[in-house]
Structure 1
């Protein structure tokens, strides 16, 4: 009975002993840390984010261009009106007057637009 107990104990402990022995005699693993890996930071997510930003920039650029064109047209209209007002006020025609609401030079008698 003692021999059966020893054999079963040996069969149970043999794998543990073998595992412990293999750890003792295994070579030490050492990682090389003398190399530096630099990633570009370029990933699918960053490319998608950059594409979305570019699309938004293009859309806002289009809107800015429209706004700037509109402002330029308003400026040109005011500039022309300013010049016409000066011409109207300096006109030799005594019946010419400047109408601020319509930005036109009008005749006092007829109310029609005149060119000074």
Structure 2
């Protein structure tokens, strides 16, 4: 009878221990940490500094892209005006070349000023 009473506490501890160990990961997974501060800490300052540095480093690239877009727009806008002038030209040999965006002479293929 002593063996039974000795085994019972061991089994009870094993069962309780397993149940506790099984509950620990679930509790650990659901744990959330809430940090309340004014938002002025070293991490946020470092993140802000890195973002500002990246913004400054890409400034030159952004300007290049914007200049390129503006240049392409100006080119298309000028071509539109030139096409209108070419089509309304009194020169019967003048025609608009859409691939080169130029007004050309039909006989020579040279650019014509409409």
The TM tier, using the shorter chain, reads 0.5 to 0.7
| Corresponding residue of 2:110 | 112
How many Å separate the matches in 2 of 1:60 and 1:75?
A: 23
SS at match of 1:105: strand
List alignment gaps of at least 5 residues for structure 1.
Answer: 1-37
| Corresponding residue of 1:56 | 54
CA RMSD of aligned residues (A): 1.8
How many Å separate the matches in 2 of 1:63 and 1:102?
A: 28
Q: How many residue pairs end up in the alignment? A: 79
| Partner deviation per Cα, 1:92-116 (whole Å, 9 max, x = no partner) | 0000000011111000111111101
| Corresponding residue of 1:78 | 76
How many Å separate the matches in 2 of 1:86 and 1:41?
A: 60
